[in-house]
Amino acid sequence: MTTTQEVYDLLDKAKSFVCSKIPESLSKPKSLIICGSGLGGISSLLQDTTEISYSEIPGFSVSTVPGHAGKLVFGFIGSNKVPVVCMVGRLHFYEGYSFNETTFPVRLAKQLGVEIVVVTNAAGGINPNFKAGDLMIIYDHINIPGFAGWHPLRGPNLDKFGPRFQPLSDAYDLQLRQLFFQQKKKLGVERNIHEGTYFYASGPTFESRAESRVIRTLGGDAVGMSTVPEVIVARHCGLRVLALSLITNECVVDPPASAFDENPKPLDEGMASHAEVLEYANQASLDVQKIIEATVNEF
C-alpha cells in the first residue's frame, strides 16, 4: 500500500511539472471542470489555452475510454476571464485503476489552488420522468461500491487534505446549484433540467432490468459509473462541488419477456449502448456548454 508521504511526494512532483508547463496567469485556476463522456467540448470554451497530456504528468494514469481524450486544458472562461482547468476525459475504477489513481487529479487540483469542482457525466435515467437529453443537477448520491468497502478514502487518511471521517450531507453545494438554474433561466435554455440523486455503480456493464428496479426502489434518479469518487475526494479536500448528469438513455426497468409469452417483446428493446451515450451527449453539449460557461463566469 502506498504511504501518505509517497502520495504527498507524487502530488508535489505533479504540481511542479504542471506549473512548469503553464503560464503564471494560469498557475492558480479557480475551478476544475471534469468533462464526462461526449462532453469534452466544454474545453473549447477556454481562451489562451495550454494543454498537457495525462501521460506526461507524474502520477497520472491514461484514460482508455472512447470519447475521453485524456488531457488537461488550462485556460480562461467567460467574459470575466476566470482561470480554469478542464479534465478532458476522466479515469474510471472499471478501467482497472484504484480509487487513489482515479481521484489523483482532484487532489492535484487542490494543490494548484482550485476552489470549486464542476463534475459532468453521462448517466442512465432511472426516474420515470426523465427522458434522454434531459439534464439532472445532482443534489445527493448513493455510493454502492462504498457500501461494499470500495471507498476512495479507504486506507491511511491524508490529513493534509481532510479529516478521517468526512461528512457528505452537504456534498453538493446549494448556492452553486441555485446559480446554475439562474444562468439556465437567464440564457433561455429550454432543455429540461431536474434535480436528483445519482446512483454510483462501478460498471463497466450497463444495469440489468432487475438492477434498474432496485436502483429506483433505493431512491436513485440516474445511474452512472463515475463522479462519486471524485466528489468524495473533492469534499475531503474542502472543495465546493457542482455536479451535472446528462441523461443519455432511459434505463429498462420492466421484467424481460418470459419464455411463456406468446408475443414477447424483443430483449434488446431500449437496450443502452456507449454509442447512444455519445450521441445524446453531443446533441446536448451546446446547451451544457452555454450554462457551464455562464455559471463558471460568476465564480
What does the pLDDT look like over 129-157, one tens digit per residue? 999 889 999 999 999 999 999 999 999 99
pLDDT at 249: 87
294 an active-site residue?
no
Q: Which of 94, 115, 157, 195 is catalytic?
A: 94
92 an active-site residue?
yes
- Percent pLDDT > 90 in the chain is 76
- Residue with grid cell 438554474, as numbered in its chain: 181
Q: Return the C-alpha cell found at 34.
A: 471534469
68 an active-site residue?
yes
Q: Which of 43, 63, 68, 143 is catalytic?
A: 68
β-strands 135-143, 240-250: how paired? antiparallel
pLDDT at 265: 74
Parent domain of 29: 4-297
**E strand or H helix that includes residue 216:** helix 209-218
Q: Which of 122, 136, 243, 294 is catalytic?
A: 122
CATH number for the domain harbouring residue 293: 3.40.50.1580
The Cα–Cα gap between 245 and 272 comes to 16
CA angle 16, 166, 71 (to 5 degrees): 35
Specify binding-site residues.
37, 68, 90-92, 122, 207, 226, 249
225 an active-site residue?
yes
25 an active-site residue?
no
141 an active-site residue?
no
The Cα–Cα gap between 254 and 71 comes to 40
The Cα–Cα gap between 132 and 126 comes to 11
Q: Which of 31, 61, 63, 249 is catalytic?
A: 249
The mean pLDDT value for 52-57 works out to: 95
The Cα–Cα gap between 232 and 147 comes to 14
pLDDT digits (tens, 9 = 90+) for 9-22: 999 999 999 999 99
- Tell me the CA distances in angstroms from 95 to 92, 208, 210, one per residue in order: 5, 20, 24
pLDDT at 262: 72
pLDDT at 197: 98
Q: Which of 92, 222, 234, 293 is catalytic?
A: 92
226 an active-site residue?
yes
- Residue with grid cell 475551478, as numbered in its chain: 31
Specify binding-site residues for a purine D-ribonucleoside.
207, 249
Question: Do the beta carbons of residue 247 and residue 222 sit within 8 Å?
Answer: yes
Averaged pLDDT score across all residues of the chain: 91
- DSSP state, 95? G
Q: Which residues of 237-274 are buried (b: 16+ CB within 10 A; e: fewer)?
A: bebbbbbbbbbbbbbbbeeeeeeeeeeeeeeeeeebeb
Q: Which of 61, 63, 212, 226 is catalytic?
A: 226
Residue type, 281: A
**E strand or H helix that includes residue 106:** helix 104-112
94 an active-site residue?
yes
Q: Which of 136, 225, 284, 294 is catalytic?
A: 225
Number of structural domains (the chain) is: 1
3-state SS, residue 286: helix
Question: Do the beta carbons of residue 198 and residue 141 sit within 8 Å?
Answer: yes
What pLDDT band is residue 68 in, cutting at 50, 70 and 90?
Answer: low
First to last CA, the chain: 38
3-state SS, residue 133: coil
Which residues sit opposite 47 in a β-bridge?
76
